[in-house]
Amino acid sequence: MSKNHTHTAVGNIKLAFFANLGFTALEFVGGLWVNSTAILADAVHDLGDSFALAQAWYFQSIADRDATQKYTYGYRRFTLLGATISALLLVVSSLFVLSQAIPRILQPEPSNAQGMAALAVIGVAVNGFAMYRLMQGEGANIRIVALHFLEDVLGWLAILAVAVLLMFTDLHVLDPILAVLITLYILRNVVKQLRNIVPIFLQAAPEKLDIAEIGREIEDIEFVDSAHHLHVWSLDGEHSVLAVHVVAQKVLNAEEYMKLKRDFRTLVDKKGIFHSTLEVEWPDESCRLERSVEDRDV
């Protein structure tokens, strides 16, 4: 990601943060005023979004810092940490909303439908604007925050529909039911996002890369007899890392060795690999990693 692109992404997050934080305060006051559990539910979620944006702002601003002796791959994985914290905040806030909404289903209370409708229109505008700005960014952290705002837009549209119904009916139970439905929908999507993030933390092979195929293509490189200890993982869901040991068909001279390295570099570039490490072993050379395993077995 270029520095210019990073500044744009940070600027979008900053703008969305202040817009969302100001509207969250309005939601809490407005939700209490119109006595709407659904609006209070969205207020809690928007408060979680404000925390998510604050973290996204920070983590995105450091994501492109140069590598250090402590963080030798740089700071790209910090965006994953931000995305995880944001998801966990949504889980906690969702459980709070459920604890407030479920009793209201059993004992419904009247809500101010006109006030709900007015807040819903503002909610669609503010969250839609924030979502639009964030959708222009990249990265797991920004995507999960943008997802928060997409859910909020849908939630406000549903609140607007319920408010219109309450203007003509006395079905006040619709308000807490909607709060529960919004919360369950958000929890479902948070679980989906965590299922994408956890494998990256555990250094699982990226789904977009066929590891077996990469292994075969490495072994098809001239002067390569076999490949082993092939590892592929992702730094942040976008930048993949590859490490592999290859056994040469013979002891290579300098020209042959450089030809092997060029062909390997061409292959990893074609696969979109961000960082790669190649270790070449001669035919009679034993692999250091395999010796370590044998030593442990002894």
CA dist 31 → 131, 148, 187, 263 (Å): 22, 19, 22, 63
pLDDT tens digit sequence for 161-191: 989 998 998 888 888 898 888 788 878 888 8
Q: Where in the chain is the domain with CATH 3.30.70.1350?
A: 211-297
Whole-model pTM?
0.69
**Fold held by 211-297:** Alpha-Beta Plaits (3.30.70)
Please state the rounded mean pLDDT for residues 211-240.
94
pLDDT tens digit sequence for 92-116: 878 888 887 888 888 888 888 899 8
Phi, then psi, of 265 in degrees rounded to 5: -65, -40
Cβ 104 vs Cβ 111: under 8 Å: no
The token duo for 100 is 């407030």
Q: Where in the chain is the domain with CATH 1.20.1510.10?
A: 3-201
CA distance 265 to 196: 28
Cβ 104 vs Cβ 177: under 8 Å: no
Residue 234 has a pLDDT of: 93
- Choose which CATH entry (1.10.510.10, 3.20.10.10, 1.20.1260.10, 1.20.1510.10) describes domain 3-201: 1.20.1510.10
